[in-house]
Amino acid sequence: MAATATFGFLDDDTARSLRGKDLISIHDLEAGQVEKIFEVTRLLKAQVPAGEARRILEGKTLAMIFTKASTRTRVSFEVGMWQLGGHALYLSAQDLQLRRGETISDTARVLSRYVDGIMIRTFAHDDVLELARYATVPVINGLTDLLHPCQALADYYTILEKKGRLRGLKLAYVGDGNNMAHSLLFGAAKTGVNISIATPEGYGPAEDVVKLARTDAAATGCEIEISHDPFAAVKEADVIYTDVWASMGQEAEHDVRVRAFQGYQVNEHLVGAAKADVLVMHCLPAHRGEEITDGVIEGPHSIVFDEAENRLHVQKAILALLLS
């Protein structure tokens, strides 16, 4: 019997609209589809017994392509597939013929004959787009230099879990306008969270991403602010979010970036300028003492490890909806 016949929450109109779909960007999702991911996350996390959950993707296989190192992405997807009854294959760049010149398009078509879905964590966003163009199974963006959609979905689910709502809250992002900033922008626009991003000059989010997010925001009424003032950004904030100043692949820029980002550290002084019950988030790994202090990440406002846990649960929902 098909899993969708057993689990009604995977067989309504919204769930069916996600089945077989790629997840490349939150921008590509409808607001109702984001809500559906969160609904399935809640059910899988707390209400569906483990034995039943393991029937959802029984016999299904996920290929996981990694050209970037990973802790949370690899473990959460691999464990998530196992908990849903499926199997995950870890494929590093050294394991595939990509390093010997096989094209992404050929890799996509070959893997589509073997597996039920492909997750990729890589540098160039165009590689993910090409993979999705030629694959005949769902492709999930596990991270690119442009976007990190699974992390942002886990972040907004965690906020929903902690605050009981999303629409009308304010999230302040302080730091580099990187892939996390981009996906948080798209997530805010889809969920109705007001977002204020503060970066040093020259390090802001990509203009085309901001433009698309503003277009999405018109439907939910959320406000998007881009500035260079971290204290203005965190004023009345319900959530403060930060990320490393030098992302993977930018190690050579580390010292320059540390100088440029002075004044953008999420420390006790900055947290004190937000609401008294503000939540502090970081997607990890954290460079303690740079973008965030040890006292904040270990302090009473931090929900950093709750959001890390929710990568597992949100991605299980994504896998269940796309692959079932």
Mind telling me the catalytic residues?
121, 148, 151, 243, 283, 311
Q: How many helices (H) and strands (E) does the chain have?
A: 15, 9
Contacts of 111 (CB under 8 A, 6+ apart): 63, 118, 135, 137
Three-class DSSP category at 296: helix
Q: What span, in angstroms and rounded, lies between the C-alpha atoms of 102 and 98?
A: 5
Tokens (6 digits) for 226 = 């881009």
Q: CA nearest 179: which of 149, 155, 158?
A: 149
Query: In sequence order, what E strands does 233-294 have?
Result: 239-242, 279-282
Tell me how far the alpha carbon of residue 296 is from its chain's centroid: 22
DSSP state letter for 45: I
Contact between 253 and 247 under an 8 Å Cβ cutoff? The reply is no
What does the buried/exposed string (b/e) look like for 204-223 if buried means 16 or more CB atoms within 10 Å of the residue's CB? bbeeebbebbeebbeebebe
Tell me the two tokens of residue 292: 């965030």
